[in-house]
Amino acid sequence: MIRKPGLTRAVHQRKEASLKKATINLANSPEKSRQKSNLLLFAKPEQVLAMSLNMIRSSDCEKKIEGLNFIYDLAQLHPNVLVTRLHDICIAIDKEVRNLHSVVSRVALGTMGHLHTHLQKLMDKELNWTARALLLKAGDSKALIRQEANVALEKMVKNCSPIRVMKALLNNEVIK
């Protein structure tokens, strides 16, 4: 730890102790318990996929977010299940990226980036859909949406075929 000139050793030790405590609290966060409960649901990933697509199609924002989170988790735990219905999944996520509720839009952008990270070259077929949605959101007036879109674009560029990424970006040029 870098010491500041005016602080005593005791102050530094208290700061280090509080950082360790915060790290321990993060390890026991609700996110971890959510992951454990989701692992039980993924005993039948095909059913979870069907259920999550139905949730995304609902009009309730909370259900949409929950469905997007299931797809996010499936991308990491069972990517082979997503490949069978990848086009349908990308169309559903694309629709939610354009959702007027910024919370739903941000979750959809994060899910799209996560798909690019875990499915990598398998997402090449869907680059036209995903590039268009991400480019449009990269120019959004809300900073959080722009930031999430930029992260998803970076994941797309890093994990998909470079030639196909360039082609998709050039074909979906956003003119303002």
Query: Given this model, what pLDDT does residue 26 score?
Result: 33
Query: Given this model, what pLDDT does residue 109 score?
Result: 95
What residues contact residue 79 under an 8 Å CB cut-off, 6+ apart? 118, 119, 122
Query: Given this model, what pLDDT does residue 65 score?
Result: 94
Query: Given this model, what pLDDT does residue 174 score?
Result: 57
Query: Given this model, what pLDDT does residue 10 score?
Result: 56
Rounded Cα distance between 81 and 39, Å, is 15
Q: Are 155 and 116 in contact (CB under 8 A)?
A: yes
Query: Given this model, what pLDDT does residue 171 score?
Result: 83
> Is 87 exposed, middle or buried, given 0-12, 13-18 or 19+ CB atoms closer than 10 A?
exposed
Q: Is residue 92 part of a domain?
A: yes
Q: Indicate which CATH number applies to the domain containing 37.
A: 1.25.10.10
Query: Given this model, what pLDDT does residue 141 score?
Result: 84
pLDDT, averaged per 10 consecutive residues of the chain (176 residues), comes to 50 50 37 44 83 93 94 91 92 92 93 93 89 88 91 93 89 63
As for how many domains the chain has, the answer is 1
Q: Is residue 73 part of a domain?
A: yes
Q: Is residue 54 part of a domain?
A: yes
Query: Given this model, what pLDDT does residue 20 score?
Result: 46
Residue 78 domain boundaries:
32-171
Residue 131: how many other CB atoms lie within 10 Å: 24
